[in-house]
Amino acid sequence: MKQLVLTAAIVLATSTTLMAQGRPDSLMMTCAQAAGLVRSSGAAVVGTGPRLYDRYVSTKAYCTPMQYIDPAWVATRDVQACNIGYLCKEQTLEFNR
């Protein structure tokens, strides 16, 4: 029983710490830091304001085969429009009717 309680306490402490860390916020980083984060991670979920976030990628390799990449511009601490990478966008297929 002691082992179970100890294990539960460790899991709870770890998950609480991870939740407290949150996601990176572009408004707290310089443009170079935000772009570097996406470039070094390949893909990163970055906050761009209160309750706003998106997944940014460095290359199309981080998108599904049916997606294309579109340049992503976000506000950072030092720049109003910083290109930090790309967004994966869904391709739309049009059929002749």
Task: Give how many domains the chain has, as a whole number.
Answer: 1
Q: Is residue 84 part of a domain?
A: yes
CA distance 55 to 57: 7
Q: Is residue 97 part of a domain?
A: no
Query: Looking at the predicted structure, is the pLDDT value of residue 6 above 60?
Result: no
Q: Is residue 13 part of a domain?
A: no
CA distance 49 to 29: 12
Domain range for 73: 24-90
Q: Is residue 7 part of a domain?
A: no
Structure confidence by residue, pLDDT tens digits, 24-62: 999 999 999 999 999 999 999 999 988 999 999 999 999
Q: Is residue 12 part of a domain?
A: no
Q: Is residue 66 part of a domain?
A: yes
Stretch 14-25: mean pLDDT, rounded? 61
Query: Looking at the predicted structure, is the pLDDT value of residue 70 above 90?
Result: yes
